[in-house]
Amino acid sequence: MSPLTGAPRDRLRIAIQKSGRLSEPARALLASCGLSWRESRDRLFCYGETLPIDLLLVRDDDIPGLIADGVCDLGIVGRNVLLEQAGERAANGRAEAFREWRPLGFGGCRLMLAVPDGWDWRGPAQLAGRRIATSYPALLSNWLQEQGIAAQVVTLSGSVEIAPRLGQADLICDLVSSGATLAANQLRPVQTLLESEAVLAGPARDFEAERAELAEMLLRRLDGALRVRHSKLLLFQAPRRLLPQLLSLLPDAESPTVMRLDQGEDDLALQALCHGAVTWQRLEELKRAGARGLMVLPVEGMLA
């Protein structure tokens, strides 16, 4: 039996982007949840080794459909793709089949309107009667409708940013992260339609039976990994009387553990999980405030 047909229902299958912006961070995140895989030669399917969780490597645009059809249980995809396809389904009168389960904190970008440099932008009302090129017709149409604006949506599958110069459209609606592509095409972002990032997508309904347990375990691990993603464990010693001041330098720490040392009545050992960046500068401030033996440790996971 091919691994892609008739999935045994006790294995979980996650679709991720085969190659692109989200591929590496998606794999790294799943690996940090303790998953590992044996890759097939065609690099389409990766068989889960440590857990019965397999990967399917596909184009990002195919991920919502694979979840809707039950070919995959979960997927990692941009919110922009998920909501565009959800909007398209809704416009065609089809039932909701997938939804966002978790924001994942990478692949951040915005769906924005961008106008040619020469435009004097005074707000959405200016869009009436204009032609807007986009690869996100459903999201754009919904937004225009909410704003009560009648504009023409020109759907393009790629190279949206050159549409104004080619005379295909007056302005564009596209994804922006740094804005460099827009600037290179003499365009200026003026209005955000959607804040996007990579998300864990799953079916609109919860799983049944065996796979529900596996999915719950994965979500628990994922939440733990996301929670400590930018966290560090900070260890140090200090005299008891300096404690209030040192703690005031750790506003991002989860209630620190304070321990007495074996020797030295007045000295304490502290252990704090910091969620903000622990920079050299912060360590130096703590040292100046009386901390000794400062040590910063990476945190790989956390189970609440």
Q: Given the rule CB under 6 A, which residues bind ligand ATP?
A: 17, 20-22, 59-61, 78, 80-81, 107, 109, 175, 177, 196
Query: If contact means CB under 5 to 8 A according to the sort of partner, which of ligand ATP, Zn ion, none does residue 109 touch?
Result: ligand ATP
Query: If contact means CB under 5 to 8 A according to the sort of partner, which of Zn ion, ligand ATP, none does residue 85 touch?
Result: none
Q: How far apart are CA 300 and CA 26, in angstroms?
A: 16
Could you say whether residue 175 binds Zn ion (CB under 5 A)? no
- Decide the pairing of beta strands 232-239 and 109-116: unpaired
Q: How far apart are CA 161 and CA 294, in angstroms?
A: 50
Q: How far is the CB of 35 from Zn ion (least distance, A)?
A: 24
Q: Which long-range contacts (CB under 8 A, 24 or more apart) does 141-150 make?
A: 141/87, 141/91, 142/87, 143/193, 149/124, 149/125
- Decide the pairing of beta strands 267-274 and 232-239: antiparallel
Structure-block tokens of residue 172: 């564009």
Q: How far apart are CA 1 and CA 230, in angstroms?
A: 42
Could you say whether residue 84 binds Zn ion (CB under 5 A)? no
User: In the complex with ligand ATP, which residue's Cβ is closer, 76 or 273?
Assistant: 76
User: In the complex with ligand ATP, which residue's Cβ is closer, 110 or 282?
Assistant: 110
Q: How far apart are CA 134 and CA 137, in angstroms?
A: 6
User: In the complex with Zn ion, which residue's Cβ is closer, 77 or 253?
Assistant: 77
Find the residue with minimal CB distance to ligand ATP: 78
Q: How far is the CB of 181 from ligand ATP (least distance, A)?
A: 7
User: In the complex with Zn ion, which residue's Cβ is closer, 19 or 36?
Assistant: 19
Query: If contact means CB under 5 to 8 A according to the sort of partner, which of Zn ion, ligand ATP, none does residue 267 touch?
Result: none
Q: How far apart are CA 193 and CA 139, in angstroms?
A: 8
Could you say whether residue 88 binds Zn ion (CB under 5 A)? no
Distances (CA, A) of 101 to 18, 194, 200, 202, 238: 21, 17, 5, 6, 43
Only segment of 61-69, 100-108, 149-157, 198-206 that touches Zn ion (CB under 5 A): 61-69
Q: How far is the CB of 259 from Zn ion (least distance, A)?
A: 52
Could you say whether residue 174 binds Zn ion (CB under 5 A)? no
Only segment of 55-63, 126-134, 233-241, 284-292 that touches Zn ion (CB under 5 A): 55-63
Of positions 60, 62, 170, 174, contacts Zn ion by CB under 5 A: 60
Could you say whether residue 267 binds Zn ion (CB under 5 A)? no
Would you call 39 helix, strand, or coil by DSSP?
Answer: strand
Of positions 61, 210, 252, 267, contacts Zn ion by CB under 5 A: 61
Could you say whether residue 21 binds Zn ion (CB under 5 A)? no
Which distant-in-sequence residues (6+ apart) come within 8 Å of 29 by Cβ?
76, 104, 106, 222, 225, 226
Q: What angle do CA 203, 209, 214 make, to 5 degrees?
A: 70
Q: How far is the CB of 134 from Zn ion (least distance, A)?
A: 14
**Residues in the site for Zn ion, rule: CB under 5 A?**
60-61
